[in-house]
Amino acid sequence: MNLDLVIFDCDGVLVDSEVISCRAHAATLTRHGYPITEEQVLHRFLGVSEREAREAIERETGRKLPDDFEDQIKVATLKFYAGDLKAIAGVADAIAAIDLPKCVASSGVPEKIRHGLECAGLYAQLSPHIFSAVQVKHGKPAPDLFLYAANKMGAAPERCLVIEDSVSGVTGAVAAGMTVLGFHGGSHCLPGHWEKLRDAGAALLFDDMRELPGMVLRVGAMAVPS
């Protein structure tokens, strides 16, 4: 095996949460005078950290959002999670079948990541190796979070495999020198989403988590780039 680590994104890869997160984000922005739909949030900010989404809105409007804006989004998201959140179909079995070290690298804040994984019954499988964009200076699409996770796990970037569902995530992982599998099986993935992941640099694409263990073996058998 030419792999030492598998890095999972969380939202849209482990938990089917992107639509829920976008609903909470849209409701919070709209309440603060920036009318936006959950579909628009999905299009603009999929895979982007809440901090960087906030900064983009503030640059666009020329005014500051409340200091506790991210906390307000978190409260709204967790409220929706309690009733609506589910794991991506087949992901628990896929994780169990991959005989390699694994971790999570997510744009979400730690409390949101943990709550989502707990609601979906996945936290015990992946804890304590869970990393958040708040731990690095620049979130996705920068490579910082992926490099941070690899360093913490003791793996060289070129021997890491990343599972991502967003263009920003694929872009960041590729920039980190890692191989990326693009997952397009979440409820938020519209027709043609796989093409965006491919164009961003995903090496292989899939929409069924039952395929993942075999794909990991395929990638692990490939020669490591020199």
Instruction: Confirm or reject CATH 3.40.50.1000 for domain 5-16+86-220, answering yes or no.
Output: yes
Tens of pLDDT, residues 80-103:
777 778 899 999 999 999 999 999
Residue 14 is predicted with a pLDDT of 97
Distant-in-sequence, close-in-space partners of 160: CB < 8 Å, separation ≥ 6: 3, 4, 5, 6, 7, 146, 150, 176, 178, 179
Q: Average pLDDT in the 167-188 region?
A: 95
133, 107 Cβ separation under 8 angstroms: yes
Would you kindly state where each structural domain of the chain is located, as residue ranges? 5-16+86-220, 18-84
Strand intervals (E) in 137-211: 160-164, 179-183, 204-206
User: 10 pLDDT band (50/70/90 cuts)?
Assistant: very high
Tens of pLDDT, residues 110-160:
988 998 899 899 999 999 999 999 999 999 999 999 999 999 999 999 999
Say whether pTM exceeds 0.85: no
Q: Average pLDDT in the 198-209 region?
A: 97
Architecture of the domain whose range is 18-84: Orthogonal Bundle (1.10)
Q: Is 217 exposed, middle or buried (0-12, 13-18, 19+ CB in 10 A)?
A: middle
